[in-house]
A and B are shown apart, each in its own frame.
Chain A
């Protein structure tokens, strides 16, 4: 059980059971045996239990017909699809919430973090109250609260709140026009890709030029022009090859268009609000960690407060902010599993919920769900570690 294996104690007279090196080896073998035996015990019990009760096991069920519908699916899915496809639908729904949530929470968090340190008294107070209140109330409660509030404060589809006859908000969700592409839309897509690639090249070139000559090039404006202009050109050349599919009230509900279901809206809103408060605190701590001398130096060379924050303080604060930011992103992804409380069809609700119940194969379903989250978590933290190293390298 030695933490430090050294040769100091290994005088020839030391008996073998007192030698730290041998004890370490023995201890590790004992642990390995214990863990393996425990694993074997669990496996044996489970196998025995399943066998004796004639419960099917294995992953063959992933290919059989699911037989139930899911309200929100980003890939084609119907009741005749397989359980495997249902898994994919749930996973994608989780991903959508996570991605929208991460973007929203980052924007909100940075705004709040900066506002918390604002010299404007009332703005700083509001930010502080928001952070304290939101952080100290359980997320599940908040999700349910917003879901109930949304359900209570929106009218039925027949009396929905309409915006310009294009957007309709009701207790069935937010309906909006959906673009439908026609032949020839490929040029727009191609133009967009070309514009993005062009912007990246442009940015590199201008950075090189600035380092060499000190001359600046309006990269942001040019890139924006490229990214908006080229696809537009592509559209016009092919004669605007798409049309809008409008949502129309028909029978019980709206038909056509795109919809954000209330479950998605309230879940994402609650996650953004909750995680934003935590990110706000991280951002504040990060900014406070940047020495005040940096701000003063920036003012001394004539930068105004805005550019000072953007060009001097935030880049240095980022190094402090990124590690906790990573764990907030992971938390948000994991917290999206609370969707199951408000019937948003995420991975847990669909797979560890409905599929588990339809098939009765608890071990397989829970194991797959956990494995998916584990993979997501580990890959996110690997990426953020890489990003963190990249940021840290700029230190001189």
Chain B
């Protein structure tokens, strides 16, 4: 009896000390740390890719920088943690990263079951197929019996199964752990088809031996809204990320760029005034400085600038704006007003 009560006492003691620490507000923790920790892809040109000096660049990286600019007014105050597809969710759940900006598709199960909040969609994507031109395939409906290479741990594997099942076509799938392995297998002819998000296909095509021998099919077989995500439950922190993104979209809509943001400060347009801190206390509402939006635009740029610099038609990826154009230009990007 004595033994048992001793054990129980020991266990209870430890349990007590462990539960003493209360959930900490992420924003306060970030401010105290002096740095925001951002989970990004390991190596995805155009979205998140380190150069030879280890400097990160890309569309998702800009999202991280925007948050750092909003909080600290300094885009260098961000630590990039490259995560694999397998690790990314645990990294966020466990607090290893403050948020993920990592080509992650917003799905209901991830939002609800995994305990995350998606704060917005910074890139509307869809799954597509890439095939060697010499196969002579023009549309995905002709892929009956094909062998498809893909990466495990992504929604693409399931979309692929759905697509072939819906069209009553046979196929074979070879699923690799890492994107580079998928690409190498496709390049060596192990598969007829390479499938992932179309933005990824464009990025990966640049890594092939002879990119021009490969064709991205016109079919889009799924909706892949990619966006940053945070842990469920810390709504204030989610707001910081969400509005950092919305500022970039709003800035594009209002014609504010990193080049003209200083002149725009004296603009008479009340919307611009509110955004840049000339009117109201919108930064304070978030627990930030009122110059938060100014810093984002000045240091990172608006949505269009980031898009054109990293993934736009002039980059190796060569992605047209398409559905990612502003709503006013026939696209889907639409940010609620700052007021």
A and B touch in the complex (CB under 8 A): yes
A interface list, Cβ under 8 A from B: 29, 32-34, 36-38, 40-41, 44-45, 48-49, 52-56, 67-71, 78-80, 148, 151-152, 156, 171-172, 250-253, 255, 262-263, 340-343, 345, 349, 353-354, 356-358, 360, 362
Instruction: From the candidates A36, A45, A54, A340, name the one contacting B115 in the complex (CB within 8 A).
Output: A54
* Residues in chain B near residue A52, CB distance under 8 A: 23, 233
* Residues in chain A near residue B18, CB distance under 8 A: 41, 44-45, 48
CB distance from A208 to the nearest CB of B (A): 54
Instruction: From the candidates B6, B146, B157, B181, name the one contacting A33 in the complex (CB within 8 A).
Output: B6
Given contacts A52-B23, A55-B93, A151-B188, contact A251 B152 (CB under 8 A): no
Q: For the complex, what is the distance from the CA of A78 to the CA of B160, rounded to whole Å?
A: 12
Question: What mask results when residues 153 to 169 of chain B are scored 1 for a CB within 8 Å of chain A, else 0?
Answer: 11001101110110000
A-B contact count (CB 8 A): 148
CB distance from B3 to the nearest CB of A (A): 6
Question: Can you sample 23 A-B contacts with CB below 8 Å?
Answer: A33-B6, A33-B10, A37-B13, A41-B14, A41-B15, A44-B14, A45-B18, A48-B19, A53-B114, A54-B113, A54-B115, A54-B232, A55-B93, A68-B161, A68-B173, A69-B164, A71-B174, A172-B147, A250-B145, A251-B144, A253-B192, A343-B185, A354-B153
Kindly report which residue of chain B lies nearest to residue A61, judged by CB atoms. B113
Q: For the complex, what is the distance from the CA of A329 to the CA of B173, rounded to whole Å?
A: 30
Q: Is B152 in contact with A353, judged by CB distance below 8 angstroms? A: yes
Given contacts A53-B231, A54-B115, A252-B145, contact A71 B153 (CB under 8 A): no
Given contacts A33-B6, A263-B174, contact A251 B145 (CB under 8 A): yes
Q: Is A69 in contact with B3, judged by CB distance below 8 angstroms? A: no
* Residues in chain A near residue B232, CB distance under 8 A: 53-54
Interface centre among A48, A79, A263, A342 (most CB of B within 10 A): A79
CB distance from B254 to the nearest CB of A (A): 37
Instruction: From the candidates B14, B174, B181, name the one contacting A37 in the complex (CB within 8 A).
Output: B14
Question: What mask results when residues 60 to 97 of chain B are scored 1 for a CB within 8 Å of chain A, else 0?
Answer: 00000000000000000000000001100110011000
Beyond the given A41-B18, A349-B152, A357-B86, please list 16 additional residue pairs across the A-B interface where CB-CB is below 8 A: A36-B11, A49-B94, A55-B114, A67-B162, A68-B173, A71-B174, A151-B190, A156-B189, A251-B146, A252-B135, A253-B145, A341-B181, A343-B177, A353-B175, A354-B157, A358-B153
Q: Is B172 in contact with A67, judged by CB distance below 8 angstroms? A: no
Chain B positions 236-264 with a Cβ under 8 Å from a chain A Cβ: none
Q: Is A29 in contact with B113, judged by CB distance below 8 angstroms? A: no
Question: What mask results when residues 278 to 314 of chain B are scored 1 for a CB within 8 Å of chain A, else 0?
Answer: 0000000000000000000000000000000000000
Question: What mask results when residues 116 to 160 of chain B are scored 1 for a CB within 8 Å of chain A, else 0?
Answer: 000000000000000000010000000111110000111001101
Is residue B334 contacting chain A, with contact meaning CB distance below 8 A?
no
CB distance from B47 to the nearest CB of A (A): 19
Q: Is B158 in contact with A68, judged by CB distance below 8 angstroms? A: yes
* Residues in chain B near residue A151, CB distance under 8 A: 185, 188-190
Q: Is A343 in contact with B162, judged by CB distance below 8 angstroms? A: no
Is residue B7 contacting chain A, with contact meaning CB distance below 8 A?
yes
Q: Is B190 in contact with A357, judged by CB distance below 8 angstroms? A: no
Instruction: From the candidates A44, A79, A250, name the one contacting B162 in the complex (CB within 8 A).
Output: A79
Q: Is B7 in contact with A358, judged by CB distance below 8 angstroms? A: no
Q: Is A68 in contact with B11, judged by CB distance below 8 angstroms? A: no
CB distance from B276 to the nearest CB of A (A): 36
Is residue B110 contacting chain A, with contact meaning CB distance below 8 A?
yes
Kindly report which residue of chain B lies nearest to residue A54, judged by CB atoms. B115
* Residues in chain A near residue B164, CB distance under 8 A: 69
CB distance from A359 to the nearest CB of B (A): 8
Is residue B56 contacting chain A, with contact meaning CB distance below 8 A?
no
* Residues in chain B near residue A44, CB distance under 8 A: 14-15, 18-19
* Residues in chain B near residue A345, CB distance under 8 A: 175
Q: Is B94 in contact with A67, judged by CB distance below 8 angstroms? A: no
CB distance from A314 to the nearest CB of B (A): 42
Kindly report which residue of chain B lies nearest to residue A29, judged by CB atoms. B3
Q: For the complex, what is the distance from the CA of A33 to the CA of B231, rounded to whole Å?
A: 35
Q: For the complex, what is the distance from the CA of A236 to the CA of B234, rounded to whole Å?
A: 75
Given contacts A71-B173, A357-B154, contact A40 B86 (CB under 8 A): no
* Residues in chain A near residue B161, CB distance under 8 A: 67-69, 79
Q: For the complex, what is the distance from the CA of A239 to the CA of B29, rounded to whole Å?
A: 79
Q: For the complex, what is the distance from the CA of A253 to the CA of B170, rounded to whole Å?
A: 11
Q: For the complex, what is the distance from the CA of A371 to the CA of B173, rounded to whole Å?
A: 28
Q: For the complex, what is the distance from the CA of A49 to the CA of B231, rounded to whole Å?
A: 11
Instruction: From the candidates B153, B172, B188, name the one contacting A357 in the complex (CB within 8 A).
Output: B153
CB distance from B237 to the nearest CB of A (A): 13
Instruction: From the candidates A250, A253, A341, A353, name the one contacting B147 in the complex (CB within 8 A).
Output: A253
Q: For the complex, what is the distance from the CA of A219 to the CA of B223, rounded to whole Å?
A: 68
* Residues in chain A near residue B146, CB distance under 8 A: 251-253
The 8 closest A-B pairs by CB, nearest first: A357-B153, A79-B161, A53-B115, A54-B115, A40-B11, A67-B158, A68-B157, A37-B10
Kindly report which residue of chain A lies nearest to residue B137, judged by CB atoms. A252
Kindly report which residue of chain A lies nearest to residue B172, judged by CB atoms. A71
CB distance from A305 to the nearest CB of B (A): 47
Q: For the complex, what is the distance from the CA of A245 to the CA of B152, rounded to whole Å?
A: 32
CB distance from B209 to the nearest CB of A (A): 13
* Residues in chain B near residue A343, CB distance under 8 A: 174-177, 181, 185
Q: For the complex, what is the distance from the CA of A209 to the CA of B37, rounded to whole Å?
A: 80
CB distance from B296 to the nearest CB of A (A): 28
Given contacts A44-B19, A55-B114, contact A171 B188 (CB under 8 A): yes
Q: Is B145 in contact with A255, judged by CB distance below 8 angstroms? A: yes
Q: Is A356 in contact with B15, judged by CB distance below 8 angstroms? A: no
Q: For the complex, what is the distance from the CA of A38 to the CA of B110, rounded to whole Å?
A: 31
* Residues in chain B near residue A70, CB distance under 8 A: 173
Q: Is A340 in contact with B15, judged by CB distance below 8 angstroms? A: no
CB distance from B306 to the nearest CB of A (A): 28
Instruction: From the candidates B7, B173, B181, B192, name the one contacting A36 in the complex (CB within 8 A).
Output: B7
CB distance from B244 to the nearest CB of A (A): 22
Q: For the complex, what is the distance from the CA of A349 to the CA of B3, rounded to whole Å?
A: 44
